[in-house]
Amino acid sequence: MDTEFRKLIDEAIHMELNIGELYLLFYRQFPDESQFWWELAIEEENHAALLKTVKQMGSADVDIPGELLPEELGELIKSNLVIRKAYKDFKNNPDRDRAFRFAYRIETSAGELHYNAFMKNAPESPVSDIFKRLNGDDVDHAERIRQYMIKYRIPATE
pLDDT tens digits for range 81-130: 999 999 999 999 999 999 999 999 998 876 655 555 656 666 677 666 66
Residue 29 and residue 109 in contact, taking contact as beta carbons nearer than 8 Å: no
pLDDT reported for residue 147: 95
Task: Tell me whether residue 113 is in a domain.
Answer: yes
Task: Tell me whether residue 109 is in a domain.
Answer: yes
pLDDT reported for residue 47: 84
* 61: CB partners within 8 A, 6+ apart: none
What's the structural domain count of the chain? Answer: 1
Q: Which domain covers residue 130, as residue numbers?
A: 3-151
Task: Tell me whether residue 156 is in a domain.
Answer: no
* Percentage of the residues of the chain whose pLDDT score is greater than 90: 49
In this prediction the pTM is 0.83
Task: Tell me whether residue 65 is in a domain.
Answer: yes
Task: Tell me whether residue 158 is in a domain.
Answer: no
Task: Tell me whether residue 104 is in a domain.
Answer: yes
Task: Tell me whether residue 95 is in a domain.
Answer: yes
Cα-Cα-Cα-Cα dihedral sign, residues 107, 112, 113, 119: negative
The 10s digit of each residue's pLDDT in 47-64 is: 899 888 878 876 555 555
Task: Tell me whether residue 128 is in a domain.
Answer: yes
- What's 41's domain CATH number? 1.20.1260
128: how many CB neighbours lie within 10 A of its CB?
A: 18
- Cα–Cα distance, 79 to 132 (Å, whole number): 24
Q: How confident is the model at residue 65 (pLDDT cuts 50, 70, 90)?
A: low
